[in-house]
Structure 1
Amino acid sequence: MCLLGDGFFLPKIILTIRIRLWLCLTISSVLKMRQSTRICILIFHIVFWSGIGGNYLFVRRFITIMLAYCVSRRLIALITWIIFSKMMALKVFTRFTLLHQEDIEFQQFGLRNNVAQLCILEVKRDKLESDACSPTILNRRFLVGNIHVLFNPKRGDIKLGQVRLFVDKAYKLSQEWGNIPVILAGDLNSVPQSAIYEFLASSKLDIQLYNRRNMSGQLEASSNCRVFRSQVGYEASISMSVSRQLVYRWSEEELELATGAEGVTHLQSHLKLHSAYASIPGNNKTRDDIGEPLATSYHSKFMGTVDYIWHTKELVPVRVLETLPIDILRATKGLPSEKWGSDHLALVCEFAFANYEDGS
């Protein structure tokens, strides 16, 4: 045999190289395993930790550590969920009582498979608060709705139909519970200069003045994803002003999907909504000209605002959580990232009940 420096034989060096190659192949195989398989192998190694010793003990320990790392993210998520479940018993998480819940499956109405939720909540009060409150403000109830609208920019008929049905259901449910205040939020997949935004802000819309393929304004925003503020608003406003001089043709099926009835071209909502962010003053680093965030979503093909919080006049926005400035958002090079786990930024608003008795 060939003897090398320090007394190592060549076969031992070859064996070491083979072990390292085997470890690389093992790592690749483990990473491709199902999560349940990884957990089973990890348990096996822990139970039989001292089964084989000698020169291969470090190999077994290495595999065990690697398997533990592979499952650690799932375990952390499970532990987090358990902790959060236990914290649900704390008062901070139980300030509201869920009185009623409804789900909207748009597929049942021929409007694709998106969903929305509507909940009736009541503010909890302890005995001291109940004794101090007048009967008129004792039971504070309100409706909260959440929606995810279809993404497809060219199906404005379906997008508008989903929003219209969502708003109508919220209005009817609020009336059934005594005309209670309403909060509606979610991903509308529509920019602030779109027809869908105008419908929510004004509670009415003449559908024939808009192109079905551009109801959400996403296509214009995508083509101008590096231009913000006044430029996007100006270009979008020109496009909308030109479109209003035209009358677009919608098929009977498209009109029925958008309006929920045959032969209807004008939408009218009984629910008068206001944008929470547009109601609270902000700075030009995070807000556009009408007060909405400059961007709530950012990925390779789009940077702009598609998420909103709407409310009725019985609720007053106190403060909102500002979104990231555009320069900081650009530095992430797209969402999700290591620091931001979603391709959308969080919108948060603190509301107060309006008291019309004393004018506050």
Structure 2
Amino acid sequence: MVQFITNLFHNSWELTAEMAPYLLFGFAVAGLLHVLIRADFVQRHLGKPGLSAVIKGSLVGVPMPLCSCSVIPIAASLRKSGASRGATASFLSSTPQTGVDSIFATYALLGGIFTAVRVLVAFACGITAGYLIEIFCKETPKADSPNFSDLNFSPEKDDKPTSTPATDASCCGKKSPQRGWREAIRYGFITLPADLALALIFGLILAGLITTLLPQDLLTGSLSSGFMAFFMATLISLPLYVCATGSIPMAYALMAAGLSPGAALVFLITGPATNTATIVTVWKMLGRIPTIIYLLSLLAISWLAGALFNMTVAQHMIDLEGAHGEHAHLSYWQHLAGILLVGILLASLIVPKLKQGKSCCSE
């Protein structure tokens, strides 16, 4: 039992230390984008129907440093401001799949080729889902006006945006933040880590558990690279909330156990974009037919991309077994970055509760 716990801690820590420098850099870039990209900019460019707005919705959504809870209210705000169903679906599809933090974390564990493919597939999913909805679901303003009464948040009453996309009032704060380097640091290293902390810690521990328990050659044959593997990855990820960053170490561990890169790509695409909360929101906001199109297009694109990835690019990737052996050679600065990352994640969970406790006592 002691040996099992030791191996679990060792494997989880190796993954943490390897991705920590890239993830910390991603947090910094996310904070910078947070203060540079304003909500009115997003609404102005996504507020018109047509293919152009769908493409812009995907372009904005891929790098957007939105926390998981703020994707839904920002999409609602876009819809309320006049964005078409296609542009809204494009934004909802591409945004949770990637972000600057998850892009750097993907590069740390899975390499540049996998990262580039993941970003391209997220972009393609957004455009495909949005454009198909634009074609087959024509707007009828009176009958199909968005119904926000049933959603679990209240869209802004004022049409003028007063907060940035990443810190919508219904998600991360009640006041519109000051723009500057302090706000960039606050968002990048406090707000965003607080939203990712539980999912990321769970993902790292689960990845360590998978690495500890599963032999590296366990997943072979159809369980590795066939459509059965795609189905298994989809079945696991569809009903669950798997955030874009927290799912990366899990995908890495599954690939180390023999899962093909294509099946891992399916897991990383379908998980963040098709969790239950997102699907319910799409249904309420856009309607039944757009939701079906949204789901089917995401599944089709992810499966097609996974199959093409296995047949072409995946064979040129670095062997994960060899890469896994390099963990023993992690440098001191990677371990220091891992300690810093864990400290930030734990602080983001503890500090708000302490402040809440103090405010309750003061009352």
| TM-score, structure 2 normalization | 0.22
- Normalized per residue, the structure richer in helix is 2
Higher strand share: 1
Using the size of structure 1 for normalisation, the TM-score is: 0.22
Of structures 1 and 2, the larger Rg is shown by 1
